[in-house]
Amino acid sequence: MAEELTIEDYEAKRAELQKLEEELKAKGVEFVADGKPLYKSKIFWANIIAIGAMVGQYVLGYSLSGEEVAFVLGGVNILLRYLNKDISGVVV
């Protein structure tokens, strides 16, 4: 059976979490509550460009090898992750 919590337990945990949040904010960590709209995502636009490039290859008859595509997309993703402030699990 689950342990019953009192309002005092709840308030104590809430205060503990608020203190931790303040400490992290003091270190420069940003919290994202609701996320951001899709159209503001750099990774989304990089993927749209990649899809456009693939369609362009098909239309123009030019083709990159799989290794070339993987190399370019890997580099773009690394760059975007470096520029992105919302990296999961990374405290700056």
pLDDT of residue 15: 94
Global pTM reads 0.46
Q: What is the pLDDT of residues 13-24, one digit of tens each?
A: 999 999 998 998
Q: How confident is the model at residue 87 (pLDDT cuts 50, 70, 90)?
A: low
**Whether the Cβ atoms of residue 68 and residue 31 lie closer than 8 Å to each other:** no
pLDDT of residue 68: 86
Two tokens at 47? 């993927």
Rounded CA separation 45/38 (Å)? 9
